[in-house]
Amino acid sequence: MLHIKNLHASIEDNKILKGINLEVRPGEVHAIMGPNGSGKSTLSSVIAGREEYEVTEGSIEFLNEDLLSLSPEERAHAGIFLSFQYPVEIPGVSLTNFIKTSMNETRKAKGLEPYPAKDLLKKMRDCLELLEMDKGFLSRSLNEGFSGGEKKRNEIFQMALLEPKLAILDETDSGLDIDALRIVASGVNKLRSPKKSFVLITHYQRLLNYIEPDYVHVLFNGKIVRSGGKELAHELESKGYDWIKQELAEV
């Protein structure tokens, strides 16, 4: 589904990614872990198509298509969803209106008619329930005055509605208390299916207690330095990132 080959990317001449290789197949959940500044968020931004980042080498294919030639919205239409680490506020735009626009633009790109309002509303209610969110959310301005936990829940809520093929969750666990983490994780788990894939970007192992990954990768200094099963996450948690750094130094 997603093939990343020898990806190099930089921002304002700072090289951040220095040769990433990653393959995600349908239905898989990959966790990407790493210390601060290792390039985790850059990777998610580059996949989603943020313009500030320049890809200097390598390729990304998504469903056998060259992802790097697509605009951010075309990538979204193709089925890529990024749950933001810091979701933005858009004052005066209700969540309902935002989601309606988002879903209908996606349908328009596929040559489909707008979603019937009644069906959309029902779908929204179902997804609200999934994330234990209050109906009042729908009429609030997008992320305006939302707590950190509410913003993250809202990201997963949109993910549930948009039904992406590949969802990248960038530090979704940061700023969440235990209850919110449990709700978000159970939401994600309910959305897992053999056709959908997830990339979880996280600093801590905590999230992976709730969402069990198939693979864990350690990102360090712009490269994936180690890959393994979920036990790798436990090892990291007990030994800390210094362990990886030391090992690399020895090599």
Partner 1 sequence: MEILDKITKSDYKYGFTTDIESDKAPNGINEDIIRLISSKKNEPEWMLQWRLEAFAIWQEMKEPEWANVTYKKPDFNAISYYSAPKSKKVLDSLDEVDPELLKTFAKLGISLDEQKRLSGVAIDIVVDSVSVKTTFKAKLAELGIIFCSMTEAIHEHPELVQKYLGRVVPRTDNFYAALNSAVFTDGSFCFIPKGVRCPMELSTYFRINESGTGQFERTLVIADEDSYVSYLEGCTAPMRDENQLHAAVVELFAMDGAEIKYSTVQNWYPGDVNGLGGVFNFVTKRGICERNAKISWTQVETGSAVTWKYPSCILKGENSVGEFYSVAVTNNYQQADTGTKMIHLGKNTKSTIISKGICAGKSNGSYRGLVKIGPRADNARNFSQCDSLLMGDGCGSHTFPYIEIANKSAQVEHEAATSKIGEDQLFYCNQRGIPTEEAIALIVNGYCKDVLSQLPMEFAVEAQKLLAVSLEGSVG
- Minimum distance of partner 1 from residue 84's CB (angstroms): 7
Point out which span in 59-67, 95-103, 122-130, 223-231 binds partner 1 (CB under 8 A). Answer: 95-103
- Minimum distance of partner 1 from residue 154's CB (angstroms): 12
3-state secondary structure of 222: coil
Is 50 a residue that touches partner 1 (CB under 8 A)? yes
**Maximum separation of any 2 CA atoms in the chain, in Å:** 62
Is 139 a residue that touches partner 1 (CB under 8 A)? no
| Of the candidate residues 26, 27, 35, 72, the single one contacting partner 1 (CB under 8 A) | 72
- Minimum distance of partner 1 from residue 214's CB (angstroms): 25
Beta-carbon contacts of 78 under 8 Å, excluding residues fewer than 6 positions away, are 62, 63, 65, 67, 70, 165
Distance CA 180, CA 150 (A): 8
Is 10 a residue that touches partner 1 (CB under 8 A)? no
DSSP state of 113: P
3-state secondary structure of 133: coil
> Binding pattern to partner 1, positions 201-240, x when CB under 8 A?
----------------------------------------
The count of C-alpha atoms lying within 13 angstroms of the C-alpha of 51, restricted to the half-sphere facing its C-beta, is 3
- Residue whose token pair is 């197949």: 25
Distance CA 124, CA 171 (A): 24
Point out which span in 19-27, 85-93, 125-133, 215-223 binds partner 1 (CB under 8 A). Answer: 85-93
By CB under 8 A, name the binding residues for partner 1.
48-52, 71-73, 75-77, 81-82, 84, 87-88, 90-93, 97-98, 101-103, 105-106, 109, 141-142, 158, 162
